[in-house]
Structure 1
Amino acid sequence: MVQRASAVSQATEQTIFQCNYCHYTDYAPVINNIRDWEYGVTGSYDYYQCSHCEGVQLNPFPNLEDLKLAYDIDYHGYAEGQKRGLLFSALYAAKEKLFRRHMRKFVNPSSKVLDVGCGAGDFLDNMQSLGVSRLEGIDFSQEMIDKLNARGITGHCGTFPQFDAEFQSYDLISMNNYLEHTLTPVQELEKSFDLLRCGGHLVGEVPGFDSWERRLFGRYWGGNHVPRHTYQFNTDFLYKILQSAGYQDIQISHQLNTGHWALSVQNFLQRKAPDLKHNPAISSGRSRVYVPMLLLFIPINIFCVLMRKSGCIKFTAQKPLANSDHD
């Protein structure tokens, strides 16, 4: 098992909060004293909401090197499907089947697709199953990129802002569970806009910060995922930054996904573990209660989706055609 990372360095701590969106220094604390209940990265973190633009960000805020250290763990996002357990794999396969059906409206065999924050490459595997062959992924894990290249998919190791893709033109860019992990989400959306062909689409998913589950569990909410989740989004704010990047036909929907419910229960149960770094009850950030909780919370999550208070929100957005007028 990979040794879990150390704390975010003290150099990144902010004695005066400054919003990374609008640079104002007025804020309201939303959640305090959150810990990394999953992997044991040391430190205590808060979420602050800017009183001016209403953006929500982590405090203390990491730099890139600190953020990379927070993934130097047996991270679940880097786990291959066969290592997730039979029940989880069955649930995951059912979810992915529905996802592939949804994605058919955006791609065809000739589409060129980029997955940002590709991890183990699950999204790109789904695209292959739809007959798409021009596939690329980017992630800052060299191990994941090496595995991607070994499967015949073009992988780029690094961060998206550093990605040198001059003259590239993609039909689809994916940012599934990615924006909340970034240092500069607005700039990342602007770059995705620049790399898409006219009429191309951006698709993605983020935790729903305005969800009932977040309000219920507070510091134990699975969507906190500190210090890896640097930003949080509600539907209004997400729409605003997508629009500011130039996108149109923005669609945001609440999704059936009980992962944060299950993880919230796990976090609450593990809150008094004496050593979260070496917690024998946790493997790849997940305990034995996680998968049964995925099933248990399906009924309440359906109700949350209907009320638009789910902890998982998906978005699609389109780059306008060349002759379209847009703000």
Structure 2
Amino acid sequence: MTPTTEAVAERRPAYLTELAQGTDRFHEPRRTDCPWCGSGRLRTRLRTTDLLQHKPGSFVVDQCRACSHSFQNPRLTPEGLAFYYRDFYDGLNAGHSARLLNAQHSARRSARRHRAAARTLLALIEPESWLDVATGQGHFPAAAKEVHPYTAFDGLDASAAVEEGRRAGRVEEAHRGTLTELAPALAGRYDALSMFHYLEHATDPREELKAARTVLRPGGHLLVEVPDPESRYAKLLGKWWVSYFQPQHLHLIPMDNLSRELERLGYTVVATDRREAHVPLDLTAGLALFLGHWLPSADAPWRSKAPTPLQRGLRTALTYAVVPLVAAAYAADQLLAPLAGRTRFSNAYRVVARRNTGGPGRDPRLTEA
């Protein structure tokens, strides 16, 4: 749904008042070392603007030459994160965000992906209780219930969406807040915990993994899915690679780094997968970001004035004109999906780890699909 002129106009004074103070204040001091391994050997991997909502500001992603961890540097402050998240998942641009994130997936296809992810644990454990972190309205638990009919699914989310999921019957209990805040109260309650494309948004991924270990019972399983910074699509598309997702993605963690960290924290990695984790959207989303950058600007409250009728008309005409290009990109994504999932073009990976009762270790049966 497109934001109305009235809704944009209502928000404009508040946004412009904030922006009058500049955007530098939204950033922490730049780091000179890697937050993952502490090395000072950094290189600039990406410089970009906000390609999602086109709010003012610029962002840098650095990469550690020692461990290959990539991270936003300088990182946004809590106030900066609040500013750039505002009106994205809800508010003005909720409909636009849903189209950007789900353009490739009908609800049925999304449910198929959810069920496939749930089956990952089926051969390892039949959990009595499962917590889905950043669950939103609980669509993953609803689909996973078809695979694990005897499992009680709960959801955790910082937004009110989790309450909607509970009211709709998709989750039994709704926990409102962050995992690190709520972990002590949920200690030892769950046999399984899932994090789908959540860890890259966290200010401190290690603390999230520690909190997950607190919540899990001994022998419980953690399922993590994140973007793969080693995907060849990242090189091919550059700043138009949607998984950079600036300014929201704060960390891009290579699979080996995440696996080693899980072992250090007292998990045993039992499975990894790139094939099923791949989502065929790179070309389509990359084209959408490119077009969104170059098309005449849409009306937004962070712009000093509304576009003229001529500018609105030109944007509408050009948007319709590029529909065949977007359709061709979509077809290419679907056609290449089987190949991409089996090669390093896969744009995401999945790790399943078991919470140890004692010290860390690595399961010799580790498999990668």
TM-score band w.r.t. shorter chain: 0.7 to 0.9
Displacement of 1:52 in angstroms is 4.0
* Structure 1 Cα separation of the partners of residues 227 and 213 of structure 2: 22
Q: CA separation of 1:173/1:100 partners in 2, compared to 1, >3 Å: closer, same or farther?
A: closer
Q: Output the CA distance in 2 between the equivalents of 1:55 and 1:118.
A: 26
The question of 1:92 aligning with 2:114 is answered no
CA contact (8 A) 1:14 1:60 kept: yes
> Which piece of structure 1 moves more, 263-272 or 184-193?
263-272
Amino acid at match of 2:64: C
In the alignment, structure 2 segments of 5+ residues that lack a partner are 301-311, 317-321, 363-369
The answer as to 2:187 corresponding to 1:172 is: no
Whether 2:136 is the aligned partner of 1:119: answer: yes
Contact kept in structure 2, 1:47 and 1:58, CA below 8 Å: yes
Contact 1:239–1:250 under 8 Å retained in 2? no
Identity %: 21
What's the secondary structure of 2:243's corresponding residue? coil
Pairing 1:20–2:35 present? yes
Which structure 2 residues correspond to residues 272-291 of structure 1 after superposition, within 5 A?
272-275=294-297, 278=300
Instruction: Decide which of 257, 262, 270 is 2:279's aligned counterpart.
Output: 257
Write the deviation string for residues 250-296 of structure 1: whole angstroms up to 9, x where unpaired: 42211342123321121122221343664977xxxxx9676764442
Match of 2:305 in 1: none
**2: CA distance between counterparts of 1:271 and 1:167?**
45
Q: Which residue of 1 aligns with 2:203?
A: 183
* Higher normalized helix content (fraction of residues): 2
Q: Which residue of 2 aligns with 1:162?
A: 181
Contact 2:158 2:178 in 1 (8 A): yes
Partner of residue 59, structure 1:
73
- Output the CA distance in 2 between the equivalents of 1:41 and 1:21: 29
Alpha-carbon shift at residue 12 of structure 1 (Å): 4.1
Contact 2:281 2:333 in 1 (8 A): no
Q: Report deviation, 1:67.
A: 2.1
Q: Which position in structure 2 is the counterpart of 1:312?
A: 348
1:57-110 CA-to-partner distances (Å, cap 9, x unmatched) read 0123123343233332242997799996896234324433433444433554x6
Is the 2:282–2:333 Cα contact (8 Å) retained in structure 1? no
2:162 corresponding residue in structure 1:
145
CA gap 1:248/1:168 in 2 versus in 1, 3 angstroms: closer
Residue 45 of structure 1 pairs with residue 81 of structure 2: no
CA contact (8 A) 1:17 1:27 kept: no
- Conserved? CA contact 2:52–2:246, under 8 Å: no
Contact 1:115 1:136 (8 Å CA) reproduced:
yes
CA RMSD, 1 decimal: 3.5
Question: Does the residue aligned with 2:106 lie in a helix, a strand or coil?
Answer: helix
Letter of the aligned partner of 1:201 in structure 2? H
Structure 1: how far apart are the matches of 2:117 and 2:263? 24
Per the normalisation by structure 1, the TM-score is: 0.82
Superposition deviation, residue 324 in structure 1: 7.2
With the length of structure 2 as denominator, give the TM-score of the two structures: 0.74
- What residue in structure 2 maps to residue 30 of structure 1? 45
Rate the CA distance shift 1:204–1:132 in 2: closer, same or farther, 3 A. farther
In structure 2, what residue type is equivalent to 1:180?
A: E
Work out which of the two has the higher radius of gyration on C-alpha atoms and give 1 or 2.
Answer: 2
